[in-house]
Structure 1
Amino acid sequence: MREFSLPALYEVPADGNLTDLIRRNAAQHPDVAVIGRKRNGRWEDVTAAAFLTEVREAAKGLIAAGVQPGDRVGLLSRTRYEWTLFDFAVWSAGAVTVPVYETSSPEQIAWILGDAGAVACFVETDAHEFAVESVRHGLPHLKHVWRIEGGPAGRGAVEQLRHDGSDVSEAEVDRRSAHAKADSPATIVYTSGTTGRPKGCVLTHRNFFAECGNVVERMGPLFQVGDSSVLLFLPVAHVFGRLVEVASVLAPIKLGHVADIKNLTDELAAFRPTMILGVPRVFEKVYNSARAKAQAEGKGKIFDKAADTAIAYSRALDNPAGPSIGLRFKHRVFDRLVYSKLRAVLGGRATHAISGGAALGERLGHFYRGIGFSVLEGYGLTESCAATAFNPWDRQKIGTVGQPLPGSVVRIADDGEVLLHGEHIFTGYWNNETATADALSDGWFHTGDIGTLDEDGYLAITGRKKEIIVTAGGKNVAPAVIEDRIRAHALVAECMVVGDARPFIGALITLDEEFLPRWAEDHGKPAGATVAELRTDPDLLAAIQQAVDEGNAAVSKAESVRKFRILPTQFTEEAGHITPSLKLKRGVVTKEFADEIEAIYSA
């Protein structure tokens, strides 16, 4: 057994709640822009004073509608300004927010709102409203549904609540805002879950203070009042997105919201954040797109040399002697030719990003640090209120998910499982004492992840305890390592390793729909050829074999992928293959693609 901890840097308020933050901001920084809101295609600033006013107006509407302290209020929407507005309005009314992914099916919506006993719900669009109404007969507690975009008589939720709450006094809002204490529930976040129905994680105001306060303090230079900014394009329904929201308000720094990431580079150029939060797939796509563009312009060799130089430069930074004179010269040349343009794609001002949700991979981590844009990996779960470990801005160790959150403890059990302890750990699952007892033992949360701690307390995650594959030869294989490596290839969208009770390890692979047409054109394949038509093409198989070979280089021979199958379709959330946070539902995939798996082992 091994454990590591760091002293707390932030003192959690003995009492009070998250609404204290917006009142403090309005009092101390009334004219500082704390929100960037997009209207009519243009970004405009919302000051701390203006944001507090809008929150209180919305809270008055909730109070007028009969929402009581402790009531649960659903929030079903993409990432947008109103998400943060209504989150703080719900807390200001003394209630509890229940996030719902905007991609949720009516059945999932019914389960979450029903299990939480929600009395009201915000929805974004008429389609969302229709989904809620289709299951409303099974939601006896649900009294109100407000639509953000164009509600009754064209009056959206913001205008409706402002109108309905006009007679509620300021004193009543003050009373309601003070109702919740530090240990009161702030939100119930339903884990997307890779198996079974989602469980509601109860996160308190104390959990968020401990989490966000210590993150902001440890990452201080990235959270400068009046200067720093972050563009949030993760789902706020996910706890990682919620961390960004609350930490930004706590700092405070300017927070922008983007719902559609198809035009992400344009939004980054317009908003120009100083920090970016994302999942590895975002950073993989930026790299792959830049490389493909360079190849299309006949500059592929230059890009590859620049990438190799960036990686070598970053690796040299970890050595006492640092980069050689020759490497420094090459780095300066490529900075003018390549790196500066890549940083411009990321907005031009950002020097750091925080990545979570999956492993980024050492090569990509070194590439980004080498171009002057450090991607700091972290690790966390819904139950740990997002990040429970992260790489600090000044002591990054690529290949790990960093050190424990200050004020918390990470322990590696005798069987390799990662255990967590601290004020950021959830209090339990809503209406599920059995699951709570299974997850929490003597104040320690059992993550189900397998990991290691080095001598400096940096954590590395090697797999999931329940996802360990045992081959017919008795070899234990953690699939995450090789899957992450294979998935980093530009052609690969998803990879799932198989081989439980089989003679060797195989893999199911889906192709990136954006990159495949470009690859097909470059290799003389018919225009518009589908995955189903190309998946047995020798050139494509050779390209994917290269990705598999790169993945195999990270593991032993017994753990390596011997054969693979390219699937004709994608793994999608709608089909139940992946969760909203992009985690594979292995049981679902295994069942649906059983014939493909059998084909791997039939020859």
Structure 2
Amino acid sequence: MATITRLFDIPYYQLERFNSIPDALASKVNGSWVKTSTQEYIDKANAISRALLQMGIQKDDKIAVISSNNRTEWNIIDIGVLQTGAQNVPVYPTISEDDYEYILNHCGAIYCFVSDTEVLRKINLIKDKVPQLKEIYSFDAIPGCKNWKELITLGDESNNQEEVEVRKNSIHTNDLATIIYTSGTTGRPKGVMLSHQNIVSNVLDSAPRIPFKAGDSRALSFLPICHIFERMVLYLYQHYGVSIYFGESIEKISDNIKEVKPNVMTVVPRLIEKVYDKIYAKGNELSGIKRKLFYWAINLGLRYEPYGANGFWYELQLKIARKLIFSKWKEGLGGNLELMVSGSAALQPRLCRVFAAAEIPVMEGYGLSETSPVIAVNDMRNRGFKIGTVGKPIGEVEVKIAQDGEILCKGPNVMLGYFKDDAKTAEVIEDGYFHTGDIGEIDTEGFLKITDRKKEMFKTSGGKYIAPQILENAMKQSRFIEQIMVIGDGQKMPAAFIQPNFEFVKEWAKIHNIDLGTTNESLITNEKVIARFKEEIDTINEKFGHWEQIKRFELTPDLWTPENGQLTPTMKLKRKVVLEKYKELFDKIYN
């Protein structure tokens, strides 16, 4: 059996172990799923490699790939580039033109692949400021832009596969494979250098946590492939013989789930929240006994503990709830979903409980771009699942907690360093341990729990430490609150900016015959709305010490999104940006 030491070994391993899977990769084109077999995947990747060598690509050249959606072409280009010893530099499609200019110049990209007209437009705006960029190729057919299929044709016409094999054989497991530019909550993006070994080790060490059958499962992929979380998982699917179907867009995910009927998906907590909110809204529309049963099942689910910890009577009720209510949830998610893996932000324990009760478990994990990314992940089997934690560390990864509570990580998954930035690398890697910047603890059973970001903790003027993420995660369990940022560094008390869950607030107002007006501005100034939010916050405040409690808050009328600048592409708060944006509200609270 072929051994996997470099990322491009993975498709060959799949071919050898599972033969040619007919739908190794599948994308929706003009309304139909177009499937690419394992053999065709390898053949096209080799054609790309041959073409790139014909074009003079050398080892350690950089090629940027920018796609607004996940698609088969991305993976073919990825393997084709890696086989030449060049590096694939994936870039978020939603960043500013300034960041495009910075990243393409910083990494020295000489070619760039784009998905569509909008991404091409952005690149064309800054192309003149990126002197080393030789050519742009598009995945979609765009007039006036070279198409990626031209490289397939060039590769098919080339007779240099031996040269490809020689180049492949010259690539070692410790060689650089990719540079991931972190979205960053402040300052310029940093280029995280990951080797083949970094990511391959993460794939192989994460594989034992997969509970479903190898070679006989389907995945739906829609989280951005430019992020190392989804990218590593795609390599993991390929290693495990899972057919990968690429979702068309977030808006069409519901339709795609029903078509593909996946066994597994990677998700972010916000998506789980939206799914739950939709289910809850439908339950609200029921009447009579059906409505009572729905809420009974929900309340039962919110008390769920794994491994029968709630006892015989609870398990009997749960069995009934699964048959009458939760089975319909599963049907709505395609009927075959066995597992969702959640990353990038903290998952609310109530959601973890209720979906596990519904037999659609969400396994929360933890990691960073710098750790390729997985450090720890939950696993339903062998008592490896604990609600409120991110699971136990994966094999070969050592985790310890520093004296100040910071999580330190050591293992083959830790990055080579930051590209062209030895000083920043030295700041985060000491004695082989990567300093994550997260605060956490390991319990007596070996489960890791994240409690806050080290840099985000602050002191009030009274000298009390405040851990904002703990407060924020607790507050976000309220269905009224979509986003929240706790403030108060150097001030007399903690306070918060809150973006309401506008849809839910409108539903609540409708039930209570409250006129909210027609705008978000009128909603957030409604006295009854403000009173209801105060009630929610006062209730949650009771879980915290007096000095930690949020004493004042202000509601904001706009949505916090990556496009609006308040969040990173991975949905983390850009605290400095949010603070600047709502400076008047800050002054209103503290002056």
Question: One-letter code of the match for 1:352?
Answer: L
How far, CA to CA, are the matches of 1:187 and 1:402 in structure 2?
Answer: 27
2:322 counterpart SS class: helix
The answer to whether the aligner puts 1:508 opposite 2:486 as a matched pair is no
1:5 matched to which residue of 2? Answer: none
Check 1:538–1:528 CA distance in 2 against 1; reply closer, same or farther (3 A cut).
Answer: closer
- Output the CA distance in 2 between the equivalents of 1:12 and 1:456: 33
| Contact 1:265–1:347, Cα closer than 8 Å, also in 2 | no
Q: 1:533 to 1:91 in 2, by over 3 A?
A: same
Note the C-alpha offset of 1:415: 0.6
Does 2:340 align with 1:350? no
Counterpart in the other structure of 1:3: none
Q: 1:527 to 1:453 in 2, by over 3 A?
A: closer
Q: Is the 8 A contact 2:101 2:129 kept in 1?
A: yes
Q: Please give the alpha-carbon distance, in whole angstroms, between the structure 2 residues aligned to 1:451 and 1:93.
A: 41
TM-score, with structure 1 as normaliser = 0.92
Offset of residue 517 of structure 1: 4.4
Q: Which runs of structure 2 are paired with 1:305-316 in the superposition (5 Å)?
A: 305-312=296-303, 314-315=304-305
Structural mapping, 1:91-490, within 5 Å: 91-152=82-143, 156-157=147-148, 159-168=149-158, 169-216=160-207, 218-222=208-212, 224-298=213-287, 301-312=292-303, 314-315=304-305, 317=307, 319=309, 322-325=310-313, 327-394=314-381, 395-490=384-479
CA distance in 1: counterparts of 2:457 and 2:3, whole angstroms: 38
Do 1:232 and 1:244's aligned partners in 2 also have CA atoms closer than 8 Å?
Answer: no
Asked if the contact 1:12/1:206 (under 8 Å) is kept, the reply is no
What's the secondary structure of 1:174's corresponding residue? helix
Q: 1:529 aligns with which of 518, 522, 531?
A: 518
By how many angstroms is 1:316 displaced? Answer: 6.5
Q: CA deviation at 1:174?
A: 2.0
User: Percent identity between the aligned chains?
Assistant: 32
CA contact (8 A) 1:70 1:94 kept: yes
Q: Distance in 1 between matches of 2:532 and 2:340?
A: 30
SS class of match (1:399): coil
- 1:21-40 to structure 2, matched below 5 A, reads 21-32=10-21, 33-40=23-30
CA shift for structure 1 position 487: 2.2
Unmatched runs of 5 consecutive residues or more in structure 1: 1-10
CA 1:433–1:531: 2 relative to 1, 3 Å: same
The letter for the 1-side match of 2:201 is A
Pick closer, same or farther for the CA change 1:377–1:600 going to 2, 3 Å: same
Question: What is the Cα deviation at residue 520 of structure 1?
Answer: 4.4
Flag the structure with more relative contact order, 1 or 2, with Cα contacts below 8 A and sequence separation at least 6.
1
Contact 2:3 2:13 (C-alpha < 8 Å) held by counterparts: no
Give me the whole-angstrom Cα distance separating, in 2, the residues matched to 1:145 and 1:506: 48
Q: What is the identity, as a one-letter code, of the residue corresponding to 1:365?
A: C
Q: Name the stretch that deviates more: 38-47 or 125-134.
A: 38-47
The question of whether the paired residues in 1 share the 8 Å contact of 2:138 and 2:145 is answered with: no
CA, structure 1 residues 148+517, in 2 after alignment: closer, same or farther (shift >3 Å)? farther
Unaligned segments of structure 2, at least 5 residues: none
Q: Distance in 2 between matches of 1:53 and 1:508?
A: 53
**1:228, distance to aligned residue in structure 2 (A):** 1.9
Paired with 1:134 and 1:392, the residues of 2 have a C-alpha distance of 46
Is residue 88 of structure 1 aligned with residue 79 of structure 2? yes
AA aligned opposite 2:495: G
Deviation of 1:374 (Å): 1.3
In the TM superposition, residue 152 of structure 1 has moved relative to its aligned partner by 4.3
1:301 Cα deviation after fit: 4.3
The structure-2 alpha-carbon separation of the partners of 1:317 and 1:392, relative to structure 1 and needing over 3 Å to count, comes to closer
Which AA in structure 2 matches 1:24?
Y
TM-score (norm 2): 0.94
In the other structure, the counterpart of 2:529 is: 540
**Mapping of residues 562-573 of structure 1, within 5 Å:** 562-573=551-562
| Distance (Å, rounded) in 1 between the aligned partners of 2:223 and 2:517 | 31
Deviations 1:187-232 (A, max 9, x none): 100111111101000000000111011101x22433x332122211
Q: Deviations over 1:493-540 (max 9, x none)?
A: 210001111222111011235445444444445587211111021332
The alpha-carbon distance between structure 1 residues 503 and 512, as it changes in their structure 2 partners (threshold 3 A), is same
How far apart, CA to CA, are the structure 1 residues paired with 2:417 and 2:306? Answer: 45
Asked if the contact 1:481/1:554 (under 8 Å) is kept, the reply is: no
Cα distance change on mapping 1:451 and 1:253 into 2, 3 Å: same
Return the offset for 1:323: 2.5
Tell me the distance in 1 between the aligned counterparts of 2:473 and 2:354.
16
CA change 1:505–1:65 in 2 (3 A) is same
Correspondent of 1:43 among 20, 29, 33: 33
Using the alignment, how far apart are the partners of 1:384 and 1:480 within structure 2?
21
Q: What secondary structure sits across from 1:187 in the alignment? A: strand
1:62 to 24, 43, 52: 52
Counterpart position of 1:586: 575
Asked if the contact 1:71/1:118 (under 8 Å) is kept, the reply is yes
Q: 1:72-114: CA deviations, max 9, x gaps?
A: 1001112222222211121123210111101011111111111
Does structure 2 conserve the Cα–Cα contact (< 8 Å) formed by 1:29 and 1:48?
Answer: no
Counterpart residue identity of residue 162, structure 1: I
C-alpha distance after superposition, 1:422-463 (max 9, x if no partner):
000001000001100101111110111111011121111110
Q: Distance in 2 between matches of 1:475 and 1:300?
A: 46
The answer on whether the counterparts of 1:482 and 1:554 sit within 8 Å (CA) in structure 2 is no
Q: Do the aligned partners of 1:452 and 1:461 also contact (CA within 8 Å) in 2?
A: yes
Native 8 Å contact 1:420 1:444 kept in 2: yes
Aligned 8 A contact 2:389 2:449 in 1: yes
CA distance in 1, matches of 2:427, 2:420: 14
Please tell me whether the aligned partners of residues 25 and 49 of structure 1 are also in contact (alpha carbons under 8 angstroms).
Answer: no
Distance change (3 Å), C-alpha of 1:318 and 1:361 = farther
> In the alignment, is residue 577 of structure 1 matched against residue 548 of structure 2?
no
Deviation string 1:111-164 (CA, Å, 9 cap, x unpaired) is 11111011111111122112112112221221111011113468732x221123
Structure 1: distance between partners of 2:550 and 2:40: 56
Aligned partners of 2:6 and 2:173 also within 8 Å: yes
Q: Which range moved further: 529-538 or 413-422?
A: 529-538
Contact 2:82 2:88 in 1 (8 A): yes
- Residue 165 of structure 1 aligns to a residue in which SS? helix
